[in-house]
Amino acid sequence: MGLLSGAVRFRRYQVLGAVDPDAMERFADAVEHNAFEEFRPDDEREQAVGWVGTDDWFEPGLPSDRWWVGRTVCLTVRVDTRRVPAHYLKLQCRKTEAEWRLKAGREDLTRAERDEIRAIVHRRLLERVIPSCQGVDVVWDLDRREVLVWSTAERMNETVRALFERTFGSRLRPLFPYVLAVRAVGDDRAELLDRVVPASFRPEGDA
């Protein structure tokens, strides 16, 4: 469900704080600094998160002309995840521990040795895992100070908000119905909303 195709399902956020007029140069550096990085051969991360272009998740480089459109920022948050099955990891650790005990001529290993074995086995298995790849499009209208996130999944939205705030230095506030109502009536009249009660539009007498 993205910006370029699919059903239109998204969450809206208000960007808190003003954006300075010369933000373009600062944003360009920040986006490049937080761009997505592929897993490296010796990488111990289980998850990689970063910005990619909305037009192509796998195209390297994020020059501003790929994501700066007028007064709008259009980017995609890419999330690659790789997991080693816990049971398989446990079995492989047992096998390696047996090899270490045989080589050392001992019946048991220290806690530090078992921890080292687990780290070695986990890293080796991670290199063999094909990561799952997810992406969610993000559109920031600077003039309206609103962000649209093309996902309604809670965990993905938390990931997007964390990356957005780390990149641009601005917090996001969800725009749910109450907040939109406050914006409509004004902060000085927000107490009126406390007196709002549900209304039924069903004709009287209908079951």
149 and 173 in contact (C-beta within 8 Å)? Answer: no
Q: Is residue 202 part of a domain?
A: no
Dihedral sign, CA of 145, 151, 154, 159?
negative
Q: Is residue 4 part of a domain?
A: no
Interior/surface letters 97-111, b for 16+ CB within 10 angstroms, e for the rest = beeeeeeeeeeebee
Please identify which residue in the block is written with the tokens 């209908």: 206
Total structural domains in the chain?
2
Please identify which residue in the block is written with the tokens 């001992």: 106
Note whether 74 and 152 are same-domain residues. Answer: yes
- Compute CA distances 155 → 95, 100, 162, 164, 193, whole Å: 36, 40, 11, 14, 30
Residue-averaged pLDDT of the chain: 87
Contacting residues for 168 by C-beta, under 8 A, at least 6 apart? 27, 30
Q: Is residue 188 part of a domain?
A: yes
- Which pLDDT belongs to residue 42? 81
Q: What percent of the chain has pLDDT over 70?
A: 85
Torsion angles phi and psi, residue 176, rounded to 5: -95, 170
Q: Is residue 169 part of a domain?
A: yes
- Which pLDDT belongs to residue 107? 87
Q: What percent of the chain has pLDDT over 90?
A: 61
pLDDT reading at 76 higher than 80: yes
Note whether 78 and 145 are same-domain residues. Answer: yes
Q: What mean pLDDT comes out for the span 71-83?
A: 95
Single out the residue of 170, 111, 177, 162 nearest to residue 142, CA to CA. 170
Single out the residue of 57, 37, 62 nearest to residue 47, CA to CA. 37
| Burial status of residue 77 (CB atoms within 10 A of its CB: 0-12, 13-18, 19 or more) | buried
pLDDT reading at 38 higher than 50: yes
User: Which one of 126, 148, 179 terminates a domain?
Assistant: 126
* Identity of the residue numbered 78: R
- Which pLDDT belongs to residue 75? 97
Q: What mean pLDDT comes out for the span 7-33?
A: 85
pLDDT reading at 1 higher than 50: no
Determine the angle formed by the axes of helices 86-104 and 111-126, rounding to 10 degrees. 130
Q: Is residue 158 part of a domain?
A: yes
Q: Which two tokens stand for residue 104?
A: 């050392």
- Which pLDDT belongs to residue 71? 87
Q: What mean pLDDT comes out for the span 43-50?
A: 92
- Which pLDDT belongs to residue 201? 74
- Which pLDDT belongs to residue 172? 95
Residue predicted with more confidence, 82 or 191: 82
Domain limits at 145? 11-38+48-82+135-195
pLDDT digits (tens, 9 = 90+) for 117-166: 999 999 999 889 999 999 999 999 998 999 999 999 999 999 999 999 99
| Model pTM score | 0.76
Q: Is residue 146 part of a domain?
A: yes
Note whether 19 and 104 are same-domain residues. Answer: no
